[in-house]
Amino acid sequence: MKTLIKNATVVLPNETLSTSILIEDTKIADIDPASQVTVDKVVDASGLHLLPGVIDDQVHFREPGLTHKEDLYTATRACAKGGVTTFLEMPNTNPNTVTQEALEAKLALAAGKCLVNYGFYIGATPDNVEDLKHAHRTPGIKIFIGSSTGNLLVDAQDALERIFAETTLPACAHCEDESTVRANAERFAGTTDVHDHSRIRDHEAAIIATRRAIDLAKRHTHRFHVLHVSTGAETLLLAEHENLITAEVCPHHLFFNVDDYERLGSLVQMNPSIKTEEDNKQLWHALLDGLIQVIATDHAPHTLEEKRQPYPKSPSGLPAVENSLALMLNQVHRGLCTIEQVVRWMCDAPARVWDIVDKGRIAVGYDADLVLVDLNKAATIHNEEQETKSKWSPWDGESLTGWPVSTWVMGHQVFCNGVIDESRRGSEAIYDHARGGYWST
């Protein structure tokens, strides 16, 4: 099958130009092919921008064990609609993904259900270093340095030292200091005010844990990725990366702050918590300055009934995967960043951080994971139109300019103008951890 995407404004690794892209089967076969090339399908992309498919390196798709909130099928419908062609999913499902057997069970499940490409982290526990040392078919190790699900909390220093010293896979962590969170929770014991969530999971909890993790990574020369940076102060810790440290920020930490509790209540209750307007500004500057390399969603849906329980019964997390690209394209529309920067943050950098082979760029020989966007399309987010099983968004009612209109996964057009094609499944992401990651490619 040959498809010609014709007359698009194409965002290439080193330039943006008006050209055509030839897809042959699952690969990008040519850029600016000869005009007489014979194809099976022509897509006229005049007036539209063609980007690499988004790689979301932090999602919680809830399967197995929590599928009343989300599952791999509903979540990847949301991905297809939102221009996300590859996701990397976290290990805090039920059961936790902490062994090679559990990891491969998830991969087998995904092969039959996912409409986009997929990968799964293996989770660290206080006593599974041997599993982590021999893990494969995974982007890396996820460590919860802070409260989590099941046996995934790793807070003891000796256990953390072993993980960083004895394993070789890239690692990432949820960084909130457990002792700080617990002490704050005691101070606010009995509270029913969701505003207190950001006082319990405060700046200090995030800063202490991030500093601790970076110290471990540097002392053991272990590649490390800081997940969902939430404070401006943490960005100062990222300045001396020593070719080891990368980081990411989520849309909710860029766009929401403690003032939004008044309007949205527990719908914006997150771990790490949302912080201040000043933190929003500092995170944005860190992204523009290159201290933060990646934008990811931490898509973590719960039902509205669960989220609307009185605090602290309300769980932390929100859905974002189908709106993340549009949220950032809206920033392009507002003149706050460029389309090339969005591609770097959401497509290229995640592939390089996690050594994902042949993804994240529009280049000959790369996988044909692509998203066509209309930078002039204006639309409003509505809960009832969400593909996520939870059927809500904290951005409900918000109008954005700039939206995905077509998505290709391994050469197959999985989404086009509101219609999702379920006739093919995505593929397992492939990693080449020997090539050295973000700083060396």
Q: How does DSSP assign 63-99, residue by residue?
A: TTT-TTT--HHHHHHHHHHHTEEEEEE-S-SSS---S
Contact (CB, 8 A) for 349 and 441: no
Considering the candidates 177, 196, 298, 355, report the single residue annotated as catalytic.
298
Query: Does the annotation mark 131 as catalytic?
Result: no
Tokens of 27: 């690969």
- C-alpha distances out from residue 23 to 39, 142, 247, 259, 426, Å: 9, 35, 32, 47, 16
Q: How does DSSP assign 112-171, residue by residue?
A: HH-SSEEEEPEEP-TT-HHHHHH--SSS-EEEEESS-STT-B---HHHHHHHHHH--S-E
Q: Measured on CA atoms in the order 431, 413, 9, 381, is the torsion positive or negative?
A: negative
Q: What does the alpha-carbon distance between residue 62 and residue 238 come to, in Å, rounded to a whole number?
A: 31
Q: What does the alpha-carbon distance between residue 273 and residue 381 come to, in Å, rounded to a whole number?
A: 23
Q: What does the alpha-carbon distance between residue 137 and residue 107 come to, in Å, rounded to a whole number?
A: 9
Q: Measured on CA atoms in the order 238, 323, 278, 335, is the torsion positive or negative?
A: positive
CA angle 427, 431, 432 (to 5 degrees): 145
DSSP state of 47: T
Q: What does the alpha-carbon distance between residue 210 and residue 86 come to, in Å, rounded to a whole number?
A: 27
Helix (H) or strand (E) holding 255: helix 251-255
Percent helix, strand and coil across the chain, each to the nearest 5:
35, 25, 45
**β-bridge mates for residue 412, sequence order:** 409
- What is the distance in angstroms between the CA of the first residue and the CA of the last residue of the chain? 31
Residues 6+ apart with CB under 8 A from 233: 203, 207, 282
Q: Which residues are catalytic?
A: 298
